[in-house]
Structure 1
Amino acid sequence: MKKNIVKNKSFEFSLKIIELYKILQSQKEYVISKQLLRSGTSIGANIAESEAGISRADFTYKLTISSKEARETIYWLQLLEQSNLVTLETDLSDYIKDCNELIRLLTAIVKTINSESN
């Protein structure tokens, strides 16, 4: 069975986001933490959903949505990082780096699919 790198990485990222969400909640940061939880876990959910795509276009669409969710996640992470709403022992730049890696993987997959279709 073939390893699905992007699916595995997005799942691991979701677990990290859940842990960060718990930390943010403990510091009484409720609004951005919930947005971050939704977008950060949605990346992997859309990748998982893409596997059941009814067509190549549906598959590509779900991966594109995952990429958009990853970009939104970076936005929330940067907002947290620069707003100083909470004090974190965790360096958010690692989360941003992981999210950018997911974006690069998703972009490469979508570009490959699109080039094979043409």
Structure 2
Amino acid sequence: MERSPVNDIIGKQLLRSGTSILANYIEANSASSKKDFINFFTHSLKSSNESKVWLTILRDLKKGEEKETDWLLNELIEISNVIASSILTLKGKR
């Protein structure tokens, strides 16, 4: 991805949301209650969904390598599915 003001903004947003997925997952492991645990997982899922938005924008604007962007989107879809499934299990809805 070449440097430009738009690319820099999208890149920073993607970095922020992408690292938030892992940060909230790690925080969940030291949660003081089941409610906190679920809350951290929920934030992790929201960050994963936000990352998908930024990657989709990059792809649609043709600002990144299409093959790499599609691979990352597929990885995020899988991550989101695992986190969402975990949340449903924790809430007893599965």
Name the TM-score, length of structure 2 as normaliser. Answer: 0.89
* Residue segments in structure 1 that go unaligned for 5+ positions in a row: 1-23
Q: Which residue of 1 aligns with 2:17?
A: 39
RMSD (CA atoms): 1.5
**Aligned partner of 1:63 among 41, 46, 56:** 41
Give identity over the alignment, percent: 30
CA distance in 1, matches of 2:20, 2:44: 7
Matching residue's letter, 1:100: I
CA distance in 2, matches of 1:66, 1:78: 18
Q: Which residue of 2 aligns with 1:20?
A: none
**Aligned partner of 1:81 among 59, 83, 90:** 59
Name the TM-score, length of structure 1 as normaliser. Answer: 0.71
> 2:74 matched to 1:104?
no
CA distance in 2, matches of 1:89, 1:63: 29
> 2:92 matched to 1:115?
yes
Task: Give 1:47 deviation, angstroms.
Answer: 0.1
* Residue segments in structure 2 that go unaligned for 5+ positions in a row: none
Matching residue's letter, 1:43: I
CA distance in 1, matches of 2:19, 2:67: 19
CA distance in 2, matches of 1:63, 1:54: 13
CA distance in 2, matches of 1:48, 1:113: 16
Aligned positions, number:
90
